[in-house]
């Protein structure tokens, strides 16, 4: 009986340790242009990961995201957008159409990745990690709508998230970036 309890306890400790050591650096994604993007290249940077959509009431947040990127982006901070069509068909476009929309309407220069699913049976593995405490070791934060923002520290770990209605230039996000 002690052996079984020891095995269960050891398994639990190993699982917990592996969840806490996982990071976004374990993932590779594709850009809107179909190029590989290894998230490990972001080591040492804070990263704001945002699921986006072109036909949403929150779509104007692209302007603030771009302003945030222009002000703080560089070696220590970046934003990554992930278009997703999970909410009321608000991102129906192709990757090419999304790129054109973002560039022409909002001047987006921060990295945009290919369209993915951020919830459901076909959830992208990165978003599975971001939204599940069992994987990120920190919190459960299922995506509730477009423009939910995940805050990732310099070590690639989730530190928190901001609701879709939270504006990118909010005090909460700016203070997280600046460390205030």
Whether 56 is a known active-site residue: answer yes
Kindly report the number of other CB atoms within 10 A of residue 83's CB atom.
27
What is the rounded end-to-end Cα distance, in angstroms, of the chain?
51
> Residues 22, 56, 67, 169: which is the catalytic one?
56
Beta strands 28-30 and 46-52, pairing class: unpaired
The residue with tokens 């340790």 is 17
Please state, in angstroms and rounded to a whole number, the distance separating the CA atoms of residues 10 and 126.
Answer: 27
Residues 145/166, Cβ–Cβ less than 8 Å: no
CA distances from 60 to 29, 49, 54 (A): 25, 17, 9
**In degrees rounded to 5, what are phi and psi of residue 37?**
-135, 110
Q: Which two tokens stand for residue 23?
A: 């990071």
Q: Which two tokens stand for residue 175?
A: 């203070």
Residues 150/163, Cβ–Cβ less than 8 Å: no
As annotated, the active-site residues are: 56
């Amino acid at each position: 009986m002690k052996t079984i309890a020891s095995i269960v306890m050891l398994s639990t400790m190993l699982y917990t340790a592996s969840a806490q050591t996982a990071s976004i650096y374990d993932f590779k994604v594709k850009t809107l242009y179909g190029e590989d993007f290894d998230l490990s290249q972001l080591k040492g940077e804070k990263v704001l990961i945002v699921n986006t959509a072109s036909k949403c009431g929150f779509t104007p947040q692209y302007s603030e995201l771009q302003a945030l990127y222009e002000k703080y982006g560089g070696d220590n901070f970046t934003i990554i957008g992930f278009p997703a069509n999970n909410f009321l068909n608000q991102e129906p476009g192709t990757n090419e159409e999304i790129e054109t929309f973002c560039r022409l309407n909002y001047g987006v220069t921060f990295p945009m990745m290919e369209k993915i699913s951020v919830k459901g049976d076909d959830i992208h593995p990165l978003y599975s990690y971001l939204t599940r405490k069992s994987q990120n070791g920190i919190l459960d934060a299922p995506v509730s709508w477009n423009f939910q923002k995940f805050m990732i520290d310099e070590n690639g770990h989730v530190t928190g998230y901001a609701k879709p209605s939270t504006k990118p230039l909010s005090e909460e996000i700016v203070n997280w970036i600046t460390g205030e």
